[in-house]
Amino acid sequence: MTNNYELYKVFYWAAKTGSLTQAAKALYLTQPSVSHAIKQLEERIGVTLFYRTSKGVSLTQEGKILFSYIEQSQILITLAEEKMVALKNLDSGELRIGGSDSLFKHYLLPFLEDFHVKYPGIKLHLNHGTTPEVISYLKEGRIDLGVVRMPIFDSQLEVTESIELQDCFVAGERYAELKGQALSMEQLMEYPVILFSRNSRVRMAITELFEKYGHELKPDIEVGSVDLLIEFAKRGLGISYVTREFVAKELKEGSLFEIELDVEIPPSKVGLMVMRNMPISAAATRFIEVVH
């Protein structure tokens, strides 16, 4: 038997057209090359596949059986090529993104909406998780890209910087006496503090900042979503640590106000993360271009 699929391709076109000349034209070959390829195939599989007629060539019984199988493979190859073109042109496919609820809602949502309008054939799959979880999803092949807070230190990952965010402490009207004041860390810790879950990059960053100044920041309330951080602060349950850009509406309408510290809180950056030296889909490539 033969593993030379080019011979089967020649056989397919000769059988389909019933002419060695037409097969040669379809494959951009010479007629002698087509004749030689068919002879090679017949010798390797040990049967005669064609007999000559006045109009060209016709399949023998064995040739008809072989053609019934080869035709199916050619149909599948054609469909596969068409699928690849569709994926390249973003007419179909999927885009799997990992990230936190807050980044999806407050940062990515406009980009996702725009991408979906432009490429409706691409199915969107959003996988929620903390930064360590998103990194695991990416390494396990469960997502195409991750959207996370930086910095990320992992030689297996390639991270492209996107927007800059500023975190801050906010409170509701119950703590109105703190408006306009610049609190020290010690003064802030005299009030109930509400923080995001301990595995989040935001929580790690503020904890490290307080430790840098010799303080241990312990939350009175710990929640798992930005929406709860905002709602708890509005209801006067404590002072929440949130991303300023994510509470712009509340700050503008006055249901929350920002509490200043006498030390600077460094800004953070959002990164688009993929596996280093690994090919990514056309959909993922295009989405990164849209966001960046």
> How far is Cα of residue 4 from the mean position of the Cα atoms in its chain?
37
- Together in a domain, 54 and 128: no
- Together in a domain, 106 and 222: no
- Together in a domain, 24 and 160: no
Q: Which of 211, 233, 209, 215 is nearest to 223 (CA)?
A: 233
What does the pLDDT look like over 64-103, one tens digit per residue?
999 999 988 888 887 777 777 777 778 888 899 999 888 9
51, 67, 88: which is the final residue of a domain? 88
- Together in a domain, 84 and 102: no
**What is the CB neighbour count within 10 angstroms for residue 227?**
14
Sequence-separated contacts (24+) of 180-188 with Cβ below 8 Å: 181/259, 181/260, 182/260, 182/261, 182/262, 183/259, 183/260, 183/261, 183/262, 184/261, 184/262, 185/210, 185/213, 185/215, 185/217, 185/261, 185/262, 185/263, 186/215, 188/239, 188/259, 188/261
The whole-number pLDDT of residue 174 equals: 95
64, 88, 112: which is the final residue of a domain? 88
- Together in a domain, 280 and 158: yes
- Together in a domain, 197 and 138: no
Q: Is residue 198 pLDDT above 60, yes or no?
A: yes
- Together in a domain, 50 and 98: no
pLDDT band, residue 207 (cuts 50/70/90):
very high
pLDDT band, residue 194 (cuts 50/70/90):
very high
Split into its structural domains, the chain has a count of 3
- Which two structure tokens, joined as six digits, stand for 187? 């003064």
- Together in a domain, 171 and 260: yes
Q: Is residue 156 pLDDT above 80, yes or no?
A: yes
- Together in a domain, 274 and 258: no
Determine the residue type at 12: Y
Q: What range does the domain containing 181 cover?
A: 167-266
| Mean of pLDDT values over 240-249 | 93
- Together in a domain, 278 and 154: yes
Residue 210 and residue 184 in contact, taking contact as beta carbons nearer than 8 Å? no
The whole-number pLDDT of residue 221 equals: 95
pLDDT band, residue 40 (cuts 50/70/90):
very high
CATH number at residue 9: 1.10.10.10
- Together in a domain, 105 and 179: no
88, 116, 142: which is the final residue of a domain? 88
| Mean of pLDDT values over 21-39 | 93
The whole-number pLDDT of residue 279 equals: 83
C-alpha span between 102 and 141 (Å, rounded): 23
| Mean of pLDDT values over 6-11 | 92
The whole-number pLDDT of residue 249 equals: 93
* CA angle at 246 for the pair 240 and 252, rounded to the nearest 5°: 90
| Mean of pLDDT values over 270-292 | 88
- Together in a domain, 69 and 189: no
The whole-number pLDDT of residue 261 equals: 94
pLDDT band, residue 3 (cuts 50/70/90):
low
The whole-number pLDDT of residue 54 equals: 84
CATH number at residue 148: 3.40.190.10
CA dihedral 236, 241, 244, 250 (to 10 degrees): -10
- pTM higher than 0.75: no
